[in-house]
Amino acid sequence: MATTKSVTVGWECLANGRTDEWPGESFAATLTLQNVSGAPLAAGWALYFNTCRQVVEGSADAGFIIEHVNGDLFRLTRSGACAWQAGQVHAINYRARFWAISVTDAPLGFYLVPGDGGPAIDLGDARIVPFTRPQQLRRSLNDRVPVQDASARFCQNMQARLLPVQQVGRITPKPLSAVFIEGQCVLARDTDLVCDSALAGEAAYLRALLAGLPGLPAAGGATIVLELGEPGTPGDEAYLLELTTATLRLRGASPHGVFNGIQTLAQLLCAATGTAPLGRVIDAPRFGYRGMMLDVARHFASVDTVMRLLDCMARYKLNRFHFHLTDDEGWRLEIAGLPELTEVGARRGVALDGQPCLPPAFGSGADIETSAGTGFYSAGDFIAILRHAHCLHIEVIPEFNLPGHARAAVVAMRVRHDRLRAAGDVNAAEEYLLSDPDDASLYQSVQLWRDNVICIARPSVDRFIDSVVDAVCALFRAAGAPLRAIHTGGDEVPAGAWLGSPLCRRRMAEHGWTGVGELRDDFVRRCRAILERHGLGFAGWEEAVPAAGDLTRAVEAGPNFQLYVWNNAWGSGMEDGAYRLANAGYSVVLANAAHLYFDLACAKDPEEPGYYWAGFVETRNAFTFCPLDATLTAGFDAMGQPVAAPTLAAMRRLDAAGAARIAGLQGQLWGENTPSRERLEYMVAPRLLALAERAWAPDPGWHLMFDPARRGQRIERDWNEFANRLGQRDLPRLDCAPLAYGYRLPPPGVALDAAAGTILANVALPGLALHYTVDGSEPAQTSARYRDPVAANGCAVFKIATFDTRGRKSRSVTLDLEPQP
C-alpha cells in the first residue's frame, strides 16, 4: 500500500441552512485538492473518503461527480479524460445532508486510486478550516444551543466552587455510610492478612494493590482480616470496612462484596505513607446492574485497551461489561468452524492481494494492515479478557448484533458460500448463508448501508446463530467465567428490509403473516429458543420487541429476557419508552442516549470530538440523570429547546412493579469516533465515574423535593461536591500507575474583566491545575500556575490549559490582547 501523499486535502464548511435550490436541511462545503506529487496524475483517478453526512447527489461543481459507494464511503471522480497536472488545485463545492458544526462532521480517511492502475494511496484526514462564523456554528434556525467557547465555559464553570478538601467526599461512588475519626490505620509490607479460604482471589488482589504503593513501610502494620458474613446492610455486594490502629477488617456478604470493599480501601489509602483514616464504612449498591458497553466493531480495541477499561470499571464498582463485538463494519471474535468471520469481517481497507475484506469506514483508510478497523480477538485473547473480568467480578455480556447492523457477517458468509460452491460443495455452501441472493429490497440504514440486514427466513440463519452461541459458550467455559445471557442487538433495522426477498415473502405467505413485523417477531422467538437450549437468557435493544406502548405483548417478556433501552432522547417521542416497557413486564437496563451515550460530544465546541444527535453529554448530564424519574432533570432537547410542560406531563411514570424491574444503568461508548486508545479513554472518563455514582450511590432524594427552586439548589450543591471530588481526589488517583487512565481534561473557561484590567480563568472540575503563559507560547506544567486574576496590561497573547498531575494537558485556550489593525 502506497503511503506517499500525492494529494493534499483541505475541507471547509461554508454555511449550514436551506437555500432556494436545496430546500432540505443541508450545508455547503468545499473540498480543496492539490496534486503535490511533482508529476501529472493519469486521467481516471478516483478519490475516496468517509463521511457521516451523506452528500447530496448532483450537488458537486460541474466537471466533478461525488457518488455514494455504500455505508459512509463516497467516491469523487472527474468527468472527461483529463490528467491532473502537477501543482494543480481543484476547489470543489458540494452540499451534504443535515449540518456540519464540528470536526466530527468533516469527511476523513481520504485515499486516492490512481488512474494508471497503481495501488491505492492513503492521504489521511483533511486539513479542516476552523469553524468561526455563525453560519458554520448553528445547525438551523431552531438551534438554540450556544457554542461553548472560552467565555461560555467561564460562565458555566462559575457554578462549580472550590471546596475545602475536608468538605469533599473521600469515596466514589458515595457509600451508604462513612464515618471517620482522627488517627491513622498503618499498613506495611509485612502486614498479616487473614482471610476465609473462599477469599483467596480477593486476598491476592489486595496484596498486589499494597505492593504497588511506593510509600508502604516495611514493618509494623495493622492486621488485615477479610471475611464473609453479615455486613450490616442487605445485598450480595454489600460490605463493611472497619479501620482501627490494630486491625483493618473487611467483611462482605460475598466475595464480590469484599472486592467492592477493597476498591473503597484503595481510595482511602495514601500511596505515599501506606496509611488510611480510622473509621467505618457500610455500603451496598442502589442497582444490581451497573454496566459499560464498548463497541469494538467500528474501530478495534486491543486486548490491553479492553483490560484497562475493565480495571477502570472495577475501581468504581461497575459489574457488567457489555461487549459489542460485531456490527456492519467489523466482526471481532474468532469463531471455531467459521474462519471467514475474521478473515473477511475483521479486515478493512483496499485489498491488494485479491483477498476479500470490508471497505474503509469512519476514516480507517485503504491500508488493511495499519487500519484501526482491522483486528480481532483470537480464542486465547478472548479467554484472557474473560478471566481478567472475572477476577474483577465483572460479568461479560457479549453482543452479536442482528438482524440489522450485520453486514460484516453477511459478507463473510457470502464469501464462504462462494468459495465452497466453486469447490463443488453446494450443501456446505448453503449451510451458513445469511443472505437471499435474489433479494431486491430497497433500504438504507441509519449509517447508509444498503445491504446490512440478515435474511431471517433462511434456516441457515438459525444454524449460524446456534454455531456462534455454541462457540461462545465453549470460550466462557474455558475461561471459567459465567455466561448468563447473550445480547443479540436487534436495533435500527431499516424500513424496506425483507420486502423484496422471495424467501421472506414465501415464509410470510406460509404463515399467513401480513407484515414484516410478524416475520421479525418469529425471528426473535427463534433466537430465544436457541439461547434457551444453551441455558442462556436473551438480551437485546428495545427494538427486539414491538412498540414500547404495546402493553398487550407483556407476555413475551418472561424470565431471562432483558431489554436495553437507548432511544429516549428528548424530542424523540420515546422519552418514556423504558418506563412503559418496565410497567409492561420487561426487565430494563437504562441506556439513555441523552445521559449515558459517551460517544456523544461533551459540549458544542467545534474541536470537541463526538456526535450530538441526542444532545451534548457532559459529565454533569450523567450525574444529574434520575433513573426512576427522568422528568426531574429534563432540561433541553438536542437543539437546546426547553422540554415542553405537556411533553413532561404526558410521560408515563413507573408504577411500583415497573420500578422494581429497572435492573440498572449502563453507559455506552459506540466506536465510530474512537480510532485509538487515547480517544477511547478521553471519551469514557470522567463520565464513567458519574455513571458509577448514579448507579451505586444512594438515591439523592431529588424527587422528594417538589419545589423546583429548592430541588435545583440541592442538585447544584450535590454536583459541586461531586465536581470537587473528581478534581481534588478521583482524577489524581486515575493519574497513578499502573492504570494512569487517559481521561478528558476540560479546557478552562476564560474571561476578560475590562474594568479591572484582569484576565479571569476557571475550570469545570475544581482542583485541577491551570497553567498559563502571556507571550503566546504553549503552556506547560512548568508555566505559571493560575491562582488569581492575571493583569492584562503588557500581556500580548494569553494562553492557558488544564493539567493533570502527570503533566498531560487539555486543549489550550487563547486570548489575543494585541490591538488589531
- What positions carry a catalytic annotation? 492
Rounding to the nearest 10 degrees, give the CA dihedral for residues 49, 61, 53, 410.
Answer: -50
Is the preceding omega at residue 821 within 30 degrees of 0, hence cis?
no
**Buried b / exposed e along 147-158 (16+ C-beta atoms within 10 A):** bbbbbbbbebbe
What gap in Å lies between CA 538 and CA 642, rounded to an integer? 37
Closest CA to 762 of 723, 805, 717, 817: 723
3-state DSSP assignment of residue 432? coil
3-state DSSP assignment of residue 239? strand
Q: Please say whether the beta carbons of 445 and 405 come within 8 A.
A: yes
What gap in Å lies between CA 779 and CA 758, rounded to an integer? 19
Distances (CA, A) of 646 to 7, 253, 569, 631, 649: 55, 46, 16, 11, 5
- Cβ within 8 Å of residue 440, ≥6 positions away: 500, 501
Instruction: Please provide the DSSP assignment of 619-632 as one string.
Output: HHHHHT--TT-GGG
Helix (H) or strand (E) holding 77: strand 73-78
What gap in Å lies between CA 216 and CA 222, rounded to an integer? 12
Q: Please say whether the beta carbons of 375 and 511 come within 8 A.
A: no
Is the preceding omega at residue 766 within 30 degrees of 0, hence cis?
no
What gap in Å lies between CA 483 and CA 208, rounded to an integer? 27
What gap in Å lies between CA 339 and CA 345, rounded to an integer? 10
What gap in Å lies between CA 681 and CA 744, rounded to an integer? 8
What gap in Å lies between CA 208 and CA 212, rounded to an integer? 6
Q: Please say whether the beta carbons of 122 and 6 come within 8 A.
A: no
**Buried b / exposed e along 113-145 (16+ C-beta atoms within 10 A):** bbbeeebbbbbebbebbebeeeebbbbeeebeb
For the chain, what is the total number of helices (H) and then of strands (E)?
21, 32
What gap in Å lies between CA 278 and CA 749, rounded to an integer? 38
Can you name the residues that pair with 320 across neighbouring β-strands?
Answer: 291, 395
What gap in Å lies between CA 167 and CA 392, rounded to an integer? 31
Distances (CA, A) of 677 to 197, 232, 448, 544: 38, 41, 26, 31
Grid cell 464498548 is found at: 294
φ, ψ for residue 67, nearest 5 deg: -115, 145
